[in-house]
Chains A and B, each alone.
Chain A
Amino acid sequence: MAFDYDKYLRPNKLPHIWCPGCGHGIVMKGLIRAIDTLGLEKNNTAIVSGIGCASRLPGYLDFCTLHTAHGRAAAFATGIKMAKPEMNVILVGGDGDGTAIGGNHFIHACRRNINMTYIIMNNNIYGMTGGQFSPCTPTGAKASTTTYGNPDPAFDIAKLAIGAGATFVARGTAYHANQIDKLIVEAVQHKGFSVVEILDDCPTTYGRRNKFKSVIEMMNRLKEVTVPIKAAEKMSPEQLQGKILTGVLFKEERPEYTAEYAKVIERSKGAK
């Protein structure tokens, strides 16, 4: 039987704003399947985003949804999770939202290891505002503000998350659509701050400027440049040159923030 996405959507809020060929919708479907697998209760699940095309996602889903300000999703979500640790809190947003203006909130959510899952849709560009370069735009690429080629080096979101202290970090792609939900399921089940980066595409503002002839070509690139981490173990450094690893890249156990704060509450009661 075909999967019933409608159960989790807000039908009267569709159609969505995304362009044909945009990867964000693929990620939304993956998230819905993951939520279904996990059996998360709608009333007890908050989906929080920043600003951008990717950040429009929560509006389409029938949960407690919060569309915050640009870059601030992690900080709003931290307030929700601290105040009601029993709620499931899932963050979604774009590469620009999460790693530029929201970079500070992002790394501190990683550091605290607060039990939330952050899904970053990395299309290497500020899509919503018409294609200015983001901290994830490759060096040399064309954006509306890098007509002569991007001079900036790009962030590796996974490395950033690991370095900042996230205890579960995974990467998937919009091409490998069937893996997205599996990665999200594992991320949500992990106790701590989990980050799932999904490489996707923005045909409208990135593809066009960077000589991709079609969405198919952009999707094929996601296939060509990525290697599953398991397969990479058997490959030589030469073979891995220029490749991006996918799958669960990092996982560790470390005290979780709301559980640690529960201990603070206990200790405060013994205090004079």
Chain B
Amino acid sequence: MAKKVAFMQGNEAAAQGALYAGCTFFGGYPITPSTEVAEVMSIELPKINGKFIQMEDEIGAMASIIGASLTGAKVLTSTSGPGLSLKQELIGYACIAETPCVIINVMRGGPSTGMPTGPSQSDVMCAKWGTHGDHAAICLVPASVQELFEETVRAFNLAEKYRMPVMIMPDEIIAHMRERIVFPEPGELEVINRTAPSVPPEQYKPYDTKFGDVPPLAAFGSGYRFHVTGLNKAEDGFPTTKAALVQAEEERQVRKVDANIDDIVTFEEYMLADAEVVIVAFGSTSRSARFAVNEARKAGIKAGMFRIKTFWPFPDKQIKALAGKVKAFITPEMNLGMCTGEVKRCAEGKVPVVGIFRVDGEPINPGQILDKIKEVK
């Protein structure tokens, strides 16, 4: 049978990806340029007996999805800049209470209201450091409509597998562009569901490390009664201030990602085998970078691209390895140096890291990158 093909907008593809992954609950608050995700979910979810709710603000939206997740649902919210700032309080709650949920944040200019319709890549630090306290973060940065679909499925898988909030951050260009998309058949992409408890209700503890760093999560209303809090908690889910328990719990929550980096981090290596000048790019900027690399190659320059697909955890290992081989990194991004700082950290002073920054609401074009390649080669 021929595959279903469509010409589709990024945000719509993200919504379709969520449905493919088994999402049955969406709580949101409208904001440009992410609103189409909510619109599609409002149309599609009731058809499958799912629930869509437009909440009173982004804090409420985040709260509603955590509540729904605790009943066993796969849950999604979508937002952009100012909404992401509001969600941060309860993103932290989802971290500490270890509640799976997916947050799509379409990056527009900031801070504050910024440039609602302009593209940006300036929320990537907010994905990691936005909520207070030590916590793990996973953030995916797709670069095409197809990838936005697939990465949304993966975001659900990671959220369910690691019991935590997972963010997808397409920039406005990826979210609003229309491209050909080939829909995977059901079963073609892996779909992961959270592990249900294997013990009877009397023995169940929601953070029982006997089952590893990601203990099984029961659902409210399924016969398991347990307590969930945003306070530091012991394995039984109740608050504790016992130093050793708090220390262990905090470390475990970070470790569950740190110890599984190779399972989480994804990237693309483009013409890296002999590359001397390596562009490190993500999202729509990587599309310009690919073009620039091709042009540079035509001109006889050994250029290549390391495309970040998973921004958090950051691909430290790969960039550190490259730093020992190449002559320079170029880091184009629609912000004032967020990825550049991370690449510099990984380059450890071995090679220069040259940024190209744009925060004027315009994309970085291939010519700008090509010029820089010629400059540093």
Contacts and interface: CB of A to CB of B under 8 A. Distances in A.
Interface of A: 13, 42-44, 46, 48, 51, 58-59, 62-69, 72, 75-80, 82-84, 86-87, 104-105, 107-108, 261, 264-265, 267-269, 271
Given A59-B229, A82-B64, A268-B43, A87 B51 contact: no
Given A68-B93, A79-B25, A84 B221 contact: yes
Scoring B55, B60, B66, B67 by chain A CB atoms within 10 A of each residue's CB, the highest score goes to: B67
Question: Helix, strand, loop or mixed for chain A's interface?
Answer: helix
B67 A75 contact: yes
Contact of B230 (A67, A265, A271): A67
20 contacts: A42-B225, A43-B222, A62-B225, A66-B67, A67-B227, A67-B229, A75-B59, A76-B66, A78-B53, A78-B67, A79-B69, A79-B70, A80-B71, A80-B220, A82-B68, A84-B71, A84-B220, A84-B221, A108-B60, A269-B47
Nearest to A42: B225
Contact of B64 (A51, A65, A78): A78
Interface string B171-193: 00000000000000000000000
B231 interface: yes
A65 B59 CA distance: 20
B226 to A, nearest CB: 7
Nearest to A82: B51
Contacts of B221: 43-44, 46, 64, 84, 86-87
Nearest to A56: B239
A58 B227 contact: yes
Q: Which 3 residue pairs spanning A and B have beta carbons closest together? A: A79-B67, A75-B63, A79-B64
B25 A83 contact: yes
Given A83-B25, A83-B73, A265 B227 contact: no
Interface string B43-60: 100110101010111011
Contacts of A59: 227, 229, 238-239
B68 to A, nearest CB: 4
A55 to B, nearest CB: 10
Scoring B49, B61, B221, B230 by chain A CB atoms within 10 A of each residue's CB, the highest score goes to: B221
Nearest to B220: A64
A105 B55 CA distance: 9
Contacts of B227: 58-59, 65-67
Contacts of A75: 55-56, 59-61, 63-64, 67
B228 interface: yes
A83 to B, nearest CB: 4
Contacts of B43: 268, 271
Contact of A265 (B46, B73, B222): B46
A67 B47 contact: no
A66 B64 CA distance: 13
Scoring A44, A77, A80 by chain B CB atoms within 10 A of each residue's CB, the highest score goes to: A80
Given A65-B225, A79-B71, 10 more contacts: A43-B223, A69-B93, A75-B63, A78-B67, A79-B66, A83-B51, A86-B221, A105-B59, A108-B55, A271-B47
Nearest to A66: B228
B65 interface: yes
Scoring A43, A69, A261 by chain B CB atoms within 10 A of each residue's CB, the highest score goes to: A69
Contacts of A77: 67
A104 B60 contact: yes
A82 to B, nearest CB: 5
B220 A268 contact: no
Contacts of A44: 221
A269 B63 CA distance: 28
B71 A108 contact: no
A87 B47 contact: no
A164 to B, nearest CB: 11
Given A72-B59, A79-B27, A84-B221, A261 B51 contact: yes
A2 to B, nearest CB: 25
B90 interface: yes
B63 A72 contact: yes
B276 interface: no
A69 B94 CA distance: 11
B330 to A, nearest CB: 42
B89 interface: yes
A61 to B, nearest CB: 9
Contacts of A84: 71, 220-221
A142 to B, nearest CB: 30
Contact of A104 (B57, B65, B89): B57
A104 B55 CA distance: 10
A167 B273 CA distance: 69
B63 A76 contact: yes
B238 A268 contact: no
